[in-house]
Amino acid sequence: MGLEAKLMNDGFLTTTIDAVIAWARKNSVWPMPMGISCCAIEMMAVGDPKYDIARFGSEVMRFTPRQSDLMIVAGTVTFKMAKVVRKIYDQMPEPKWVIAMGACTSTGGMYRSYSVVQGIDQFLPVDLYVAGCPPRPDNLLNALIQIQDKIGKTRARDFQNNPKIEKAAD
Amino acid sequence: MDFKDKLKEKLHQKFPSVEFVFEEFRGELTIKFDKNAIVEVAEFLKTDEELSFKLCEDVTGIDWQKKRDRFTVIYQLFSLTNKFRLRMKCDLGDEWSIDTVSSVWRSSNWAERETYDMYGIIFNNHPDLRRMYMPEEFEYYPLRKDFPLMGVPGSIPLPKK
């Protein structure tokens, strides 16, 4: 512990670059609010002072996909909308995460019908499903905390030399 | 003479060759007639000063499936001056098409597109008869009775994962 102890005395902190990047990433998750139907109302409630998503560093809802890390798909995705959702997802820079918020988004929910996609995992890689119709704001906050845990476990090299990412860039 | 009788008399007077069937249910009047007369009758109902059905609230259809005349088109009209609602029904017969009334009421333009989208009923001379809700490349008509509830698998492509 020679070097660390010496640096600590001088007011320095040692860590790994992976840990710093993961820590920075997980505490500043910028969500892309893909609010399609009523779940979006609960998503707005998450932003208000009562539930306050800012406590977790995610208050900057970006309405452009190019500045966000996390897409919260909140609402019923129809087949026609699926193309749009995918297009927006493709525009988000890597690394990126997806929360499927609510029953409709996760499974089609009560819309067992020809026009509704029965779960967005048919065309998007989903990281987390949130149960509820619509989920309470606390439930979405819980999802965000779990996503933060997931992001905290990533390392910088997880996103390097990834053939999937390079393919998307082409 | 109340408004319903006046309406019936006026229609008979104006169109002696068209056969009108009047039905009344809970105070709401429905008229049925031949589909070839739809534009003239619509024009008359709108432009006549006493009747003045200025509002075409909706155009929709019925799929009877087993009846000989499979499709019926329904028009919901409202007269603001008389505070009166009128329903027009036209059976389509073997040819699943009817003349458009979008030249009479502009609001029926989209309503007719929706009816086309859902039932596949062709509105002749419609200015822009495209699908309203479903993707344009979709080949089926979802509100027809023989369309399966969960749709035809693979008929609407999803983006690749």
Domain presence at residue A11: no
Domain presence at residue A17: no
Check which CATH number belongs to the domain holding A61 and give it: 3.40.50.12280
Cβ-proximal residues to B141 (8 Å cutoff; 6+ apart), any chain? B117, B118, B119, B120, B147
Which of A87, A114, A122 lies at the smallest CB-CB distance from B158?
A122
Residues of chain A by 3-state class (helix, strand, coil), percent to 5: 50, 10, 40
Q: What is the pLDDT of residues B74-93, one digit of tens each?
A: 999 999 998 999 999 999 88
Q: What is the pLDDT of residues B10-68, one digit of tens each?
A: 889 988 888 899 999 998 899 999 989 899 999 999 998 888 899 999 999 999 988 78
Q: For B134, which residue in chain A has the nearest alpha carbon?
A: A80
Q: For B137, which residue in chain A has the nearest alpha carbon?
A: A80
Which of B134, B156, B161 lies at the smallest CB-CB distance from A125?
B161
Amino acid identity for residue A60 in this structure: V
**B160 interaction partners in chain A (CB closer than 8 Å):** 123
Domain presence at residue A126: yes
Domain presence at residue A24: no
By the 8 A CB rule, do A59 and A53 touch? yes
Note the pLDDT of residue A42: 92
Beta carbons of B133 and A122 less than 8 Å apart:
no
Cβ-proximal residues to B1 (8 Å cutoff; 6+ apart), any chain? B9
Nearest to A76 by CA among A41, A103, A53, A49: A103
Beta carbons of A123 and B149 less than 8 Å apart:
no
Q: Which residue has the higher pLDDT, A42 or A8?
A: A42
Q: Looking at the structure, give the CATH architecture of the domain made up of residues B3-124.
A: 2-Layer Sandwich (3.30)
Beta carbons of B159 and A112 less than 8 Å apart:
no
The CA distance from A3 to the nearest CA of chain B, in Å, is 48
Cis peptide bond N-terminal to A95, omega within 30: yes
Instruction: Identify the domain containing residue A134 by its residue range.
Output: 31-152
Q: Which two tokens stand for residue A147?
A: 């996503």
Beta carbons of B134 and A80 less than 8 Å apart:
yes
Residues in A lying within 8 Å of B, measured between beta carbons: 79-80, 82-83, 86-87, 112-115, 117, 122-125
Domain extent listing, chain B: 3-124
Beta carbons of B151 and A112 less than 8 Å apart:
no
Note the pLDDT of residue A149: 92
* Banded model confidence at residue A73, pLDDT cuts 50, 70, 90: very high
Q: Note the ipTM here.
A: 0.75
Which of B149, B156, B161 lies at the smallest CB-CB distance from A113?
B149
Domain presence at residue A164: no
Helix axes B3-14, B38-47, angle to 10 degrees: 130
Q: What total number of domains does chain A contain?
A: 1
Domain presence at residue A78: yes
Q: B158, B160, B161: which to substitute to probe chain A, counting the most A Cβ within 10 Å?
A: B158
The 10 Å Cβ neighbour count of residue B126 is: 19
Note the pLDDT of residue B72: 93
The CA distance from A114 to the nearest CA of chain B, in Å, is 4
Q: What is the pLDDT of residues A31-72, one digit of tens each?
A: 999 989 899 999 999 989 999 999 998 888 888 899 999 999
